[in-house]
C-alpha cells in the first residue's frame, strides 16, 4: 500500500500547536474501519486541529471524510491534473490558494469563472478541480485556524445554475461541512447580484445554520479599503481588488504550474484510500 507525503513541516506544526506525538498515536489506536491503516501523522494532525484537539470528534470526522470520498468518485477519483477534464477547468475558471497572512494563520481559497459562457462550466469537473485546490492548500500550508473561501460572482450568469447537479451540490456541501480536515472559517461572496439569491435558495436545504451565519456577501460597489481592514489584509488580495498581490490571472497561472507537479500526490492519495 502506497503512502504519500504532504509538504508542510510536521515538527513545526506540532510545536506551534503544542501537541505531543503521543496524542496522534492515541488517535491511530482507534481509527474507524474505513480509514487506511497507513494514514500519516500529518493527516491525523490536520483532523485533530480541525476538531479543536478532541480525539473522538476527530475520529468521527475522519470516518465522514473517507465516506464522502468513497461516495463521490466523480469528485475524488482519477484526479490527474494533466487530464483533459482538469485542464479544461483550469482554462475556464480561476483557482487560487493564497498562503496564510501570518504563521499558522488562515488559509484562503479563491475561485472565479474566467468567462461567462455557461457551456464552458462543467459542474462535476469544476467541483473536482476545486477540491484538488483545497487539498493542495491544506497539504502545503498545514494545520490552520480555518479556511476562508472567496467566490467572485462577476461572471456568473443564470444559465450556470442549470449546469449544477443537486446531488453533486449535496455531496460537496456534506464534505465541506462535515468531512473537511480543516474548519470553514468564513465565506466571502464578491460582486453579488440577484443570481446569488437563487443559488442560496438552491443550496440552503444542505447548509447548516452555522455555515449560513459565516457567509458574507459584498456588492459590486463595496469599499475594498474597508474590506481589507475588517476581513482580509490588502497584502493577501489580488491587485484586481486593489490588493498588493499580483493579478488573479497571474496567480492562477502560477497555480496551474504548481498543481501539475502534484500528480503523484493525488495518485498516492487515491491509492491510499483504495489499496
Give the C-alpha separation, 95 to 131, whole Å.
Answer: 10
Condensed to tens digits (0 to 9), the pLDDT of residues 213-263 reads 999 999 999 999 999 999 999 999 999 999 999 999 999 999 999 999 999
pLDDT for position 103? 74
pLDDT for position 3? 52
pLDDT for position 111? 98
Q: Are 245 and 251 in contact (CB under 8 A)?
A: yes
Q: What confidence category does residue 4 fall into, taking pLDDT thresholds of 50, 70 and 90?
A: confident
Q: Are 107 and 145 in contact (CB under 8 A)?
A: no
Q: What is the CATH number of the domain that holds 247?
A: 3.40.525.10
pLDDT for position 2? 43
Domain total of the chain: 1
Please write down the HEC assignment for all residues of the chain.
Answer: CCCCCCCCCHHHHHHHHCCCHHHHHHHHCCCCCCCCCCCCHHHHHHHHHHCCCCHHHHHHHHHHHHHHHHHCHHHHCCCCCCCHHHHHHHHHEEEEEECCCCCCCCEEEEEEECCCCHHHCCHHHHHHHHHHHHHHHHHHHCCCCCEEEEEECCCCCHHHHHHCCHHHHHHHHHHHHHHCCCCEEEEEEECCCHHHHHHHHHHHHHCCHHHHCCEEEECCCCCHHHHHHHCCCHHHCEHHHCCCECCHHHHHHHHHHHHHHHHHHHHHHHHHHCC
Condensed to tens digits (0 to 9), the pLDDT of residues 65-96 reads 999 999 999 999 999 999 999 999 999 999 99
37: left (phi over 0), alpha (psi -120 to 50) or beta: alpha
Condensed to tens digits (0 to 9), the pLDDT of residues 19-48 reads 999 999 999 999 999 999 999 999 999 999
- Burial class from Cβ neighbours inside 10 Å (0-12, 13-18, 19+) for residue 66 reads buried
Q: Are 68 and 275 in contact (CB under 8 A)?
A: no
pLDDT at 1 over 70: no
pLDDT at 99 over 70: yes
Condensed to tens digits (0 to 9), the pLDDT of residues 170-208 reads 999 999 999 999 999 999 999 998 889 889 999 999 999
Residues 6 or more apart in contact with residue 200 via CB below 8 angstroms = 215
- Burial class from Cβ neighbours inside 10 Å (0-12, 13-18, 19+) for residue 197 reads exposed
- What does pTM read for this prediction? 0.96
Q: Structural domain of residue 73, as residue ranges?
A: 1-275
Amino acid at each position: 500500500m502506497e503512502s504519500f507525503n504532504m509538504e508542510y513541516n510536521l515538527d513545526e506544526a506540532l510545536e506551534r500547536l503544542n501537541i505531543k506525538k503521543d496524542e496522534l498515536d492515541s488517535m491511530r489506536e482507534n481509527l474507524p474501519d474505513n480509514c487506511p491503516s497507513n494514514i500519516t501523522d500529518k493527516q491525523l494532525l490536520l483532523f485533530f486541529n480541525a476538531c479543536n484537539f478532541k480525539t473522538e470528534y476527530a475520529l468521527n470526522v475522519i470516518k465522514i471524510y473517507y465516506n464522502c470520498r468513497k461516495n463521490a468518485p466523480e469528485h475524488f477519483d482519477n484526479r490527474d491534473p494533466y487530464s483533459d477534464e482538469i485542464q479544461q477547468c483550469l482554462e475556464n475558471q480561476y483557482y487560487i490558494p493564497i498562503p496564510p497572512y501570518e504563521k499558522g494563520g488562515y488559509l484562503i481559497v479563491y475561485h472565479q469563472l474566467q468567462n461567462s459562457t455557461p457551456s464552458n462550466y462543467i459542474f462535476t469537473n469544476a467541483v473536482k478541480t476545486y477540491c484538488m485546490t483545497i487539498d493542495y492548500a491544506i497539504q502545503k500550508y498545514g494545520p490552520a485556524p480555518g479556511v476562508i473561501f472567496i467566490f467572485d460572482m462577476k461572471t456568473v450568469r443564470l444559465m450556470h445554475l442549470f449546469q449544477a447537479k443537486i446531488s453533486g451540490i449535496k455531496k460537496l456541501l456534506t464534505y465541506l461541512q462535515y468531512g473537511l480536515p480543516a474548519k470553514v472559517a468564513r465565506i466571502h461572496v464578491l460582486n453579488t447580484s440577484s443570481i446569488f439569491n437563487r443559488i442560496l435558495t438552491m443550496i440552503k436545504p444542505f447548509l447548516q445554520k452555522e455555515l449560513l451565519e459565516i457567509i458574507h456577501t459584498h456588492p459590486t460597489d463595496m469599499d475594498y479599503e474597508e474590506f481589507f481592514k475588517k476581513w482580509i489584509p490588502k497584502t493577501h488580495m489580488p491587485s484586481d481588488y486593489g490588493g498588493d498581490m499580483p493579478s488573479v490571472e497571474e496567480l492562477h497561472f502560477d497555480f496551474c504550474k504548481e498543481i501539475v507537479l502534484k500528480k503523484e500526490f493525488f495518485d498516492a492519495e487515491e491509492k491510499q484510500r483504495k489499496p
